[in-house]
Structure formats: C-alpha cells, structure tokens
Amino acid sequence: MLAEEKGARLEVVEIHETGDLIEADFQLKLKMKPKLVALLHVSNTLGTINDIKRLTRDAQEVGATVLVDGCQSVPHMEVDVQDIASDFYVFSGHKTYGPTGIGVLHGKKELLESMPPWRGGGEMIDTVSFEKGTTYAGVPHKFEAGTPHISGAIALGVALDWMRGVGIKAIGDHENTLGAQARQLLGKVDGLRFIGTSEDKTGVVSFVVDGVHPYDIGTLLDPMGIAVRTGHHCTQPLMDFYDIPGTVRASFGAYNTLQEVDALAAGVERAVRMLR
C-alpha cells in the first residue's frame, strides 16, 4: 500500500524451501540502496526466526530505515529493542494475551519527531491559529488523536506484566516443546508434510496433507474442540511459492498442554481418514 501511494518500487527478498531468507539475495537487494527495509522478526506462517539484529545492521549500513514486525516474536521470546536497534519495532496487543484494537509502535525519537501526524483530533495539537497555523504536540501525543483506547492500554500493560511474571523465556521453551511433540506425532500421518522447516523457528507448526484441502481439515477439527487456523495466513505470495492453496497452522501458547498436542495429532489423523 505504501509503495503504491508513494510510487515506490517494492523488492522482495527470496527464501529457501525451508523458509529461511536467501542471504545472497538479501545482500543483493541492499545494493539497490533501499529507503525502507521491512523485516519479520518471526514468520507468522512458518515460525522462522530471522537474525534480526544482523539484518537490521546490514540494512542501516546502506542508509535504509528499518521497520521490524515483532507480532510473532514478542509473545514467544525475549526481545531487546535497544539491542536490535531497528528504527521502528511494532507488535499487536492481542498476540501478547492482551485485548484487540491496540498495539505498540516503538521508534527512534528523532524519526518520530520528524513524522507528520496521521490523524487529527483532540490532544494532538499544541497551538491552533487561523493566522499563524497549527503546531503539534510532542511525541507520542501527536500520534494519539482524540480519546485513546484507555481500557485497552491498561489491559495490555497487565498482560505484559503477566508474561514477565511467568517468564517470557519459560513460555517460549514450553511452546517449543509442544511444537517438537506436534511435529513428531503429525509426521506419522500419511501424506502430511510440514511447510517451514527451518532449524531456527518457534513452536508454530504449519502443514498440508496430500489430496486434502486445509480448510476441510480445520472444519472437521472444530467440532472436536481443536482450534487451528487454515488458509493463506495473510501470506498469499508465500503460498504461491510453495504452490499450495494454504496450510493448517497450529499455534501453541502458554496455556496449551502435551495432552492437547496428542489430541491434535489424533484429530488430524481422524480427519484425514474421513476425507480420503
């Protein structure tokens, strides 16, 4: 959308079959001197973890502004935005056990100060004059027009405090254990193959089954009390790369158990038998 609005050219870094970035292609794209480099810390579809600190550094060395999508990293691993040092780092509230309708934009102060407000309203102005024009409040207030999502902000803070209390590393380790168990059990299902097989990944498990549509598997799992996501997961070009209509994706959280992983595997096996 931004490229269309500004008339910019969008270049996409290619990936290996495993889901890892092709390093040589990334470096080739950097030689084009991009103005903005947008990176995933963790893939929502594949679970691939990118070496985000190094990628950020390499992009900034050629003069690019770096935006990192941390929606799938913040809930599952310890993240130090000061160490990563990207220009912007963003994540959503509902991925961190918080409410919908709110998220976090972390940015370097000098960049935020140089950016114009994206919406007008109360509390985002400093002075208004028909003769002298308008001056805006400082950051972050100039980006928060009108009444903010007060309850959402409070709830998000509580959710993040809860995550820190449990231990973000402990949550990630637990999810990785569940993911490993799921891959071991699901790998026994005839015709099932995993999409996204990087050695460095989170507990996300995406898969397809030969001759069976992902949506049908999800539909049959639902009445069994098993919640998965099916479809392209907002990554249609990635599905084209793998030449598939979509995947079944199991995403594990702090509240999931090994018994639920067993139920998932048994449910998928049952669904596949019914659909063949």
Catalytic choice (31, 150, 234, 237)? 234
Kindly list the distances between the CA atom of residue 206 and the CA atoms of 63, 173, 246, in Å, as whole numbers in the listed order: 35, 19, 9
Query: Of the candidates 53, 64, 3, 7, which has an alpha carbon nearest to the alpha carbon of residue 30?
Result: 64
Does the bond joining 140 to the residue before it have cis omega, within 30 degrees of 0?
yes
Residue 234: active-site member: yes
Nearest to 175 by CA among 250, 100, 68: 250
Q: Which amino acid is at 205?
A: V
How far apart CA 261 and CA 276 sit, in angstroms, is 23
Burial of residue 217 (number of CB atoms within 10 Å: 0-12, 13-18, 19+): buried
| Residue corresponding to tokens 């595997």 | 265
Angle CA 61–64–67, to nearest 5: 115
SS3 content of the chain, % helix, strand, coil (to 5): 40, 20, 40
Rounded CA-CA distance 12/237 in Å is 10
50: nearest Cα among 11, 82, 32, 77:
77
CA distances from 193 to 15, 175, 233 (A): 18, 20, 17
Distance CA 89, CA 69 (A): 6
- List the catalytic residues: 234
